[in-house]
Amino acid sequence: MHGKQRGIGLIQVAIVMASLAAVAMAFLMSARHERNFFAEGLAKLTGKPAATPVAEIIAPAAPAGVLRKCVVDGKTVLSDVACKDGKVVKAIDTRGIEAPKVPKPDPAESAPQSATDKMIEKATR
């Protein structure tokens, strides 16, 4: 009495999910390698040049120890790479995080106890 199933079958679902997983994997790989595989593939198909990678836009590294303050995509960053409108920043050497100091003992606690204090101490033991 059962009729033919309507909708998509298990094999079609498997194919769609495998395709989706392949696209997601390509996206994650492009993000890991700081490349855009999708834009590169589109550029190959259309024959138009792909966008210039950021590494080629920024000038080569400056001498060691020089720090520059740059604005990249509206965010202020510190970099050792030369950039346009970058200002050289002098680094300040600090001691970092110091361990907390032990507080000095209260002079009232270190003073000799009176006879009353000694009696109270004995009674509470």
Give the residue extent of every domain in the chain.
Answer: 1-55, 58-92
pLDDT cut 70: percent of the chain above it: 79
How much is the mean pLDDT over the chain?
78
Q: How far is CA 96 from CA 42, 43, 91, in A?
A: 49, 49, 13
Instruction: Give the pLDDT band of residue 110 (cuts 50, 70, 90).
Output: low
Q: Which amino acid is at 96?
A: G
Q: How far is CA 15 from CA 4, 10, 11, 63, in A?
A: 21, 9, 6, 53
pLDDT of residue 62: 47
pLDDT of residue 66: 80
Instruction: Give the pLDDT band of residue 124 (cuts 50, 70, 90).
Output: confident
37-87 pLDDT tens trace: 777 888 888 887 655 555 555 555 445 668 888 888 888 888 887 787 788
CA distance 23 to 29: 10
pLDDT of residue 70: 86
